[in-house]
Structure 1
Amino acid sequence: MNMLTRNQFEKASAFIKANARRLDVSLFEYYFENGSAEKVIKELGEFQNEDGGFGQSIEPDFRLAISSPMATTIGLQYARELRMNSEHPLIKKAVTYLLESYDTEAKGWQGVPEAVNSVPHAPWWNYDVEKGHCGTHASWANPNAEITGYLREYSEGVPKPFLSFITKLALQELQDATIKMEMHDFLCFQRFAETLRDEEKEAAVSKLRKSAREITGHNAEDWQGYGLKPLQIVSGPSSAYSDLFKEEIPAQLDYEIDSLSKEGSWNPNWSWFGEFEEEWKIAEKDWKGQLTVKMLKTLNDFGRIETRNSM
């Protein structure tokens, strides 16, 4: 069993502090250095616009300053990690934005606006005017299922009839989804399922468990390319999906420790395929910081950092 050595941890720490966004630096400090949640929330607020939505390139692969539902899901992923509640002004503003940006005709949210085409972005975020959506928005689930989860989690101020309607729609979409669903759809449904209770949660998790192994890479060869890895599904040892990957989780933890770069980072295994090359360098740096903080948190949760106790 591999362990991340203390020297490796310190190298990763130095990389984060020298290269990551202030948001991710503060999150690292929150996890490992008794940093305050308030500092992370302050930095998170720098990515929130006046309309309550998130933008300002919080999703590194599209450099859009204005708000979008997709960027707002990223902001709320940080909020959930910090266990923020519905009464916080940042959450209230984000919920207001989501309610106001809901497309009644489409019964959901448009991931990104057409304006994304006017800024540097990864090819898969290009907005197809004829289709009326970007390349990642091929199904209802992404980002609608995840957004529905946040409206449930932060339900103060969300009209109950609307919340009931959108929850039923998400449940139906999950029921109708194929077992071999697209990886981002799975992750959106998984985040949605975390907000359910009792029989609804049991049914949703059961459906997702049937899909999990079908859509996940199981060995180092799979993990080198872009695709879903077990640790993206299994957030920690107590995960409802951990028993599905009893062999893969220890193997991936070993693999990830071996993958730490010489500069002390975990790096994205994707690129923008030669487009917007200078801006990609900025986005790649943002990703390195974010991914490194996340991987250190995961390694710590699984007791894989030398001389560190679990948090």
Structure 2
Amino acid sequence: MHRDARFAKAAEFIWTHARLLERRVFACRFLDDDAQLVVNALRAYQNRDGGFGHALEPDLRGPDSQPVFVDFALTTLREVGARDAEIGGRVCDFLASIAAPSGAVPAILATAHQHPRAAHWNGDSALQPSLNFTSGIAGQLHWQGIQHPWLERATAYCWAELRNSVIGDAHSLRSALVFLDNFGGERRTRELTEQLATQLPTADFFLADVPVTRYGLTPLHFAPSPRTPERRLFSDSLIEAHLDDLAARQAADGGWPIFWDAPGETARNEWRARWTLDALSVLRAYGRL
């Protein structure tokens, strides 16, 4: 498909199926719209306790605040270059209220199991505080420039876990690298980044090979732009192969597919719109659009 046709079909899919939030992100990234409009759309998902809810991550359909929703919100802000001290401060207040004494937070709280959800959220492991979402959220909050007692505790926890743990899955590795990206000038950051890089090839859910036909994280999830620090972890040939594969996965309706069962057609379309938005961003960053 020609680049212009690819973009036009993807844009049509987003305008047809995306939530207001993703439509605002699309307009900001590709139509030079104001990032503050993304912030405004995101605020509708923030609860009185400071956390985010209301199916912000489409696989969890409940209204209650969840750490995974916080991660989704902060990632969205960073993607459009928006810093908001009020959102960041209120998020920290929420996280402080549900964190373990170490500062670690789980992916979800038990309240998530009271509402419709994708099957992969049914187990108890996501209820346990862990490095995965703690490091990703802490990294995003450092990028926001937030100072908060909970963030201090969580940061100390992340450094200790990174020094002493072997990380076995790609999601946790990506979150850890998000955290480390905020401390790029430090020797310990360089050492830990190299350590994590050696763990990536054998990590669960890491997809090094193409074509991609199942759920997982590819090199492009770690290096969505050639300017990303993690780009140096992958060869040029591997990145090019995944770019070819990513472009080839665009469906006839203009959107990109997902490789898991979402909890209903609405959630499926919301996720596909998000993945379509992300695919366009990656392809443009590497000069493929």
What is the TM-score when the length of structure 2 is the normalising length?
0.90
Q: What is the rounded CA distance, in whole Å, between the counterparts of 2:51 and 2:128 in structure 1?
A: 22
Q: Does 1:95 align with 2:59?
A: no
Q: What is the rounded CA distance, in whole Å, between the counterparts of 1:242 and 1:207 in structure 2?
A: 16
Are the equivalent residues in 2 in contact too, given 1:124–1:135 (CA < 8 A)?
no
Q: How large is the RMSD of aligned CA atoms in angstroms?
A: 2.1
Q: Does 1:170 align with 2:158?
A: yes
Matches within 5 A, 1:59-208: 59-85=57-83, 87=85, 89-104=86-101, 107-126=103-122, 134-136=124-126, 140-159=130-149, 163-178=151-166, 181-197=168-184, 198-208=186-196
Q: Which runs of 5 or more structure 1 residues have no equivalent in the other structure? A: 128-133, 273-278, 306-311
Secondary structure in 2 matching 1:195 = helix
Q: Which runs of 5 or more structure 2 residues have no equivalent in the other structure? A: none
Deviations 1:237-287 (A, max 9, x none): 123332323211111111111110000001111115xxxxxx421111110
Q: Give the structure 2 partner of residue 217 of structure 1.
A: 207
Q: Give the structure 2 partner of residue 282 of structure 1.
A: 266
What is the TM-score when the length of structure 1 is the normalising length?
0.84
Q: What is the rounded CA distance, in whole Å, between the counterparts of 1:77 and 1:239 in structure 2?
A: 15
Q: Give the structure 1 partner of residue 13 of structure 2.
A: 15
Q: Give the structure 2 partner of residue 232 of structure 1.
A: 221
Compared CA separation, residues 239 and 61, structure 1 to 2 (3 A): same
For these two proteins, the number of residue pairs brought into alignment is: 285
Shift of 1:150: 3.3
Choose between structure 1 and 2: higher helix proportion.
2
> Structure 1 vs Structure 2: percent identity of aligned residues?
24
Greater CA drift, 227-236 or 141-150: 141-150
Secondary structure in 2 matching 1:56 = coil
Compared CA separation, residues 241 and 107, structure 1 to 2 (3 A): closer
Are the equivalent residues in 2 in contact too, given 1:4–1:257 (CA < 8 A)?
no
Shift of 1:78: 0.8
Deviations 1:181-235 (A, max 9, x none): 21111121111112224123212322222223333322224x2111221101112
